[in-house]
Chains A and B, each alone.
Chain A
Amino acid sequence: MAEETQKGTLGGFPNPPAKVRVEQSSPLPTRVREYFGHIADVVKTFWEGLSVTLSYMVRRPITVQYPDRTEKRVADMLPSRYRGLLEVDMSVCTGCMACERACPISVIKVSTDKDPTNPKQRVITQFDIDESKCMFCGLCVEPCPTGAIQHTREFESTMKSVDSLVFRWVPDPEKPAPFYRPVKGQDAPRAPVGEILRKKMAEASWIAPASILVPDGPNKD
């Protein structure tokens, strides 16, 4: 194209793409038929289109009047596989860190340590999830041996500050959570999915200056 342009063949406008212009080549009766055919087409297709749109005046709109005029909370209407905010039940967390490894964008940070009071017991001193960065892919849920980390159906995570979206599941490193030891042939006693998160969210409504989910600030430099 560029060569043509530089040679100036595009100086004037190029011919528009060849159009099939039946009107110009065909005999008069055909052209007359076409002329009135266009009008007939307009009437016919407008008739159909208008009848379709009019019929929608008496059909049910599908609008869901989120958030206040729904039969129940939208979060409760979602399917069980829905991948909303992540929730961790620390009482069944084995501290295996499989979720941290599985996360492709490193939004999970788990630190473990020895319990100072009982050196034989290992504890989780930190289990942070940066929900603001999480892309809700579900890859962390899959390797979890006890189902401690789960996607809930909660999705309303508006906070005043993006920092408040770092959910610290071990709020206080001074009170770490001990490792859970799975019992063979027995399901881990996990709390129902969503319950823990809902409770925490209710405690920290979004207008709070800083969510109580988050102990004030990490050690900033």
Chain B
Amino acid sequence: MAIDMQLDRHILRRTESSDEEIVVNFGPQHPSTHGVINFVTQTNGEVIRRSVPDIGYLHRGLEKIGEQVPYPGYMPFTDRIDYLAAMFANEGYAVAIERLLGVEAPPRAKYIRAIAGELCRISNHFISVGTMAQDIGAATPLTHALRERESINDLLEELCGARLTFNYHRIGGVAFDLPEGWAVKVLRFLDHLDSYIQEWDRLITFNKIFVKRLANVGIITREKAIDYGLAGPNLRGSGVNWDIRRDMPYGAYPDFDFDIPVGTGRFGTVGDCWDRYFVRVREMVESSKIVRQALAKLPEGDIQAKVARKLKPDAGEAVGRVESARGEMLYYVVSDGSEKAYRLRVRTGSFMAMGIIEELSHGIMVADLIAIIASLDVVAPEVDR
């Protein structure tokens, strides 16, 4: 984060600017920056010369807080890392600490984690594709997406008592078992969802203007995507078939049968904005498949492994990886044997995605920048932590 004028000077110093160029601040308060982010953009009319993301407005020092609260007490803070997909932030932290302690969640807990996580993924992707449509100028899909997400929020609220900041996972399991009759509600919702996705596609996905706005825009080649360390749908949109759930399995995911949608360049080039968008739409369907399987195979048993109330892991370090809605979420925990983490590092998909925007911003139009930001699905608190 920098004071704007300094950044203006910085960016102007680095390029030969002409008289006709102006520096525009897209943000920190802007309808399309998806949070408090600033894109300092040098443009010549509608054409952007360069756009430098300026982040940190939402930096809350969550990594430092991790060093100051006991292990179980950090769980609610992980909710705040990514408020749109808090289930994964919870799960990643739980997985990391479980690896550090050498405990394993019981099978039922793992299944419940998968169910809750995939529901959360659907809700997050609805926000993502909905705001994307909104940024492209269609207002109606967003409210439809929010409506569907609302149903999921209701379900998750019933499961864990909160709509966004779930704090559902515990080290060694989950906090609550499924409520009575909840599974039926979930299945009813999934039936609705599977048919609704088709309507969604009719409404916006294949809309000619929408396709034209996104196809061949913001192309991230396979090599570039890997080089910049993109993750999740952004990486898969570039045609890289990589998903932590399948390739570095954790939890109950090895038991499920699901596909990994990747970008195909259906209307343009592989790795364009439309591919990233469509990967998310397809992922919702896959998540629905996973939830159905998990509910069908849900084992009986405990939901919480035996863990001491005061956690004091041995000195060492561990990494917990989960496939969050925004890509691989990596928790790196270093323990010095005390009841607080010595160092806690969170690597998030949004942060990596922000890193590539400057690279993509050369020679595009103002409206394309909005499309690219939307297609990368960045969430400001996850960038800044």
Contacts and interface: CB of A to CB of B under 8 A. Distances in A.
Interface string B47-68: 1011000000000000000000
Query: Would you call the interface of chain A mostly helix, strand, loop, or mixed?
Result: loop
B269 interface: yes
Interface string A31-70: 0000000100110011011011100000000100000000
B268 A10 contact: no
Nearest to A50: B203
B298 interface: no
A135 B268 CA distance: 46
Contacts of B73: 102-104, 139
Contacts of A83: 161-162
Given A135-B165, A138-B167, A45 B206 contact: yes
Contacts of B309: 143
Interface string A81-96: 1110000000000000
B76 A135 contact: yes
A8 B17 CA distance: 11
Contacts of A135: 76, 165
A82 B363 CA distance: 50
Nearest to A6: B14
Given A20-B216, A20-B269, A81-B158, A45 B14 contact: no
Given A104-B74, A104-B76, 5 more contacts: A14-B363, A16-B364, A19-B216, A81-B176, A102-B72
Contact of B208 (A14, A16, A45): A45
Contacts of A143: 309
A48 B47 CA distance: 33
Nearest to A81: B161
Interface residues of A, number: 42
A5 interface: yes
B281 interface: no
Contact of B147 (A1, A62, A139): A62
Interface string B181-223: 0000000000000000001001110111000000010010000
Contacts of B364: 16
B161 A138 contact: yes
A5 B16 CA distance: 8
A106 to B, nearest CB: 10
Given A53-B203, A139-B76, A42 B150 contact: no
> Sorted from nearest, which 6 A-B pairs have the closest CB atoms?
A104-B73, A137-B76, A81-B161, A79-B158, A83-B161, A48-B202
A68 B199 CA distance: 33
Interface string B257-277: 000000000001100000000
B372 to A, nearest CB: 11
A78 interface: yes
A135 B79 CA distance: 10
A16 B167 CA distance: 45
A25 B159 CA distance: 57
Contact of A137 (B70, B75, B269): B75
B160 A2 contact: no
Interface string B315-329: 000000000000000
A27 interface: no
B13 to A, nearest CB: 10
Contacts of B241: none
B349 to A, nearest CB: 22
Contacts of A18: 219, 269
B359 A1 contact: yes
A168 interface: no
Given A20-B216, A135-B165, A45 B207 contact: yes
B44 interface: yes
A104 B359 contact: no
A15 B358 contact: no
A10 B14 CA distance: 10
Interface string A140-179: 0011000000010000000000000000000000000000
Contact of A2 (B14, B77, B363): B14
B161 A82 contact: yes
B99 interface: no
A165 B160 CA distance: 25
Contact of B165 (A8, A62, A82, A137): A137
B78 to A, nearest CB: 10
Contacts of A136: 162, 165
B27 to A, nearest CB: 21
Contact of B150 (A13, A38, A53, A62): A62
A217 interface: no
Contacts of B1: none
Nearest to A41: B208
Contact of A42 (B47, B76, B208): B208
A138 B158 CA distance: 14
A63 to B, nearest CB: 9
B15 A10 contact: yes
Nearest to B219: A17
A150 B150 CA distance: 26
Contacts of A78: 157
A46 B207 CA distance: 7
A82 B167 CA distance: 12
21 contacts: A2-B14, A10-B16, A16-B363, A18-B269, A19-B269, A20-B268, A41-B208, A45-B207, A48-B203, A48-B206, A49-B207, A52-B199, A52-B202, A81-B157, A81-B176, A82-B162, A83-B161, A104-B77, A135-B165, A137-B167, A151-B161
